[in-house]
Chain A
């Protein structure tokens, strides 16, 4: 932090001012001129919250994707299908047992197990052959999409969260002042989205701890840096590969349950989320968990703020960000060069 300030005093000040202004916008009661300029505070605050929570969902999908890529240099284009499968499993578990929470471990385990099979029977056979892997995973995703369409049909599945998670909750963010009584109006926000976001943060933190503070994490990080050298030291790298692939796939399945709860699950969602996680990891930097978190946050915020303030071009904004990042920092915000 200190170093950054010493090197870029000008930019530091600008960033500081922008952040301060943003924080003020979130907490202050807006004056009239700002309301005239960009509309009601409720709208702005909701867009920010939605962007952050959507970013949480994107992070869950993209972190598995980036983890797999980082370790195995393996672009798994069937990742979206794993997400969709997780969503369907989640719907099935929730509607048949009535326990929404049970959907998460079950989806994680089943989809993770599928990941193990994929790693053992597909990827291990074509290690290091990027093009082959890419083509094979495209093929797998098409087959899986059709199998799922055949199995569950094209209906829209929406996982119903339990009663205590439905409806809005009052937060402590002020959106305005009542004209008549001068009372403060607080923002109401869907509780399910807040819980999902908290879960995404918890998973993110757990992953960071696992990667940076444990022996397994050390193995994985060493594998990311130099696979050959790690296997030469006698580490059982294939076992690490299987474990990471299972974990990444399981995360996609978990994200499917989250996605099915605050959006819907239907054919086509697989491609949408694959595309979203590709954009997220390109912006954040391939192979970096922190990068995935930052990328997911940026893309989520861009989508939501865009959809409110310039709806026609909201879709373009996401890709514009990707283009800018690729132009000025092709390795991604947190990516390593080389």
Chain B
């Protein structure tokens, strides 16, 4: 059929007009943004953009004394839409650098695209496929968020040891991010001694889960759900209608703010569900609290989530890193981004969700949180922190050679049945 070409292009109003500088880089900085503003991940993309705007607002829409001009390009979570969007931003709009994308397979596609455009820099939004930085990384692609596998760290041990769930069955979406996120869980869970007896992979965008729910085995301790966005809400809705009452374990985007604030009662099925990811909504760290407040202040309550989702945090961190480095190079990118990239590589970002630094593949090493869904007094749902793991590397603490031996994330990695 045809595709909705919804390209949301917006210009940030240049308030407080600064006096023109005489030197060459007084023109506004053009930042291209890629986010999923259509399709099943629409809400996720919207929150990503909110995170980015929160960071820009904090910096007064300026970096290195230059005003910032945003060009936002919508994608639909498919790799070709991401490449098309990046092409438009880089080759047509001639942006200085790109922040994005949001979804796993998009990230892999943009890593390859980045290699064809050595003059520009891409700072990942929140896409979390492992391969993006782990296999054949691009020198101009930076990722300040931990990947999907890192987001699973700690969850496996927690459900095995603290919850005592010895066997699980899984239902997850059939694409790179879900594989990666699942690998992080399975890596820890299998190591702890758990058994994963059945795995079901469903196409991204599945709406009718009736039959899949029926085929879930009833002799397991818990069910791991690696779904996101509309698929997650649909699953929960139909799961409730079918009278399901098994223990659930959530993948990182299963229990994310985007799902926890969906309209309707379906999400209530998630209360008590353990999960893990790069943030915990109720963390009492002052830096995190300040960030949550900045996010809440930046948007009226009906145009945001009660607290930022991990997608907002990802875009926020990417933008903060870019602004810090632009300040350091005084907004000067005329050396072919050399100083800018040098700064990004060595930056230690004091992010709201813990300290982040990059490894040799320009991949984040950061903290991970194990959480449980709770209902707050105002009726909204949130991720309550139960454990935190610091300094999670892309190899999940394993030796690199040993970790590579596991194989790239796919349906059958890691096996323990």
Contact = CB atoms under 8 A, between A and B. Distances in A.
B216 to A, nearest CB: 9
Interface stretch (B154-162, B200-208, B380-388): B200-208
Contact of B202 (A47, A266, A271, A311): A311
B263 A91 contact: yes
A262 B200 contact: no
B212 A307 contact: yes
B241 A264 contact: no
B305 to A, nearest CB: 10
Interface in B212-255: 212-215, 229-230, 233-234, 237-238, 240-243
> B46, B211, B238, B262 — which one has the most chain A CB atoms within 10 A of its CB?
B211
Looking at chain A's contact residues, is the secondary structure mostly helix, strand, loop, or mixed?
helix
A191 B43 CA distance: 30
B69 interface: no
Given A158-B263, A190-B241, A39 B208 contact: no
A43 interface: yes
> A39, A91, A271 — which one has the most chain B CB atoms within 10 A of its CB?
A271
A167 B211 contact: no
Interface stretch (A149-157, A202-210, A234-242): A149-157
> How big is chain A's contact interface, by range?
35 or more
Nearest to B6: A146
Contact of B266 (A40, A154, A158, A266): A158
Interface string A299-331: 000011101100110110000000000000000
Interface in B43-92: 43, 46
A268 B241 contact: no
Contacts of B263: 91, 95, 155-158
A160 B43 CA distance: 20
Interface in A144-187: 145-146, 149, 153-160, 166-168
A190 B214 contact: no
B21 interface: no
Nearest to A167: B243
16 contacts: A91-B264, A138-B2, A153-B43, A154-B42, A154-B43, A155-B262, A158-B263, A158-B264, A160-B265, A193-B210, A263-B234, A266-B40, A266-B43, A268-B40, A307-B212, A314-B203
B6 A149 contact: yes
B1 A264 contact: no
Interface in A204-258: none
Interface of A: 39-40, 42-43, 45-47, 49-51, 53-54, 91, 95, 138, 142, 145-146, 149, 153-160, 166-168, 188-193, 262-264, 266-269, 271-272, 274-275, 278, 303-305, 307-308, 311-312, 314-315
Nearest to A142: B4
Nearest to B233: A156
A171 to B, nearest CB: 12
B147 interface: no
Given A50-B214, A158-B233, A268-B42, A190 B238 contact: yes
A156 B203 CA distance: 18
A168 B38 contact: no
Contacts of A42: 214-215
Contacts of A262: 237-238, 241
Interface string B189-205: 00000000000111101
A263 to B, nearest CB: 5
Contacts of B212: 307-308
Contact of A263 (B39, B208, B243): B208
B96 interface: no
B46 A154 contact: yes
A192 B243 CA distance: 12
A160 B264 contact: yes
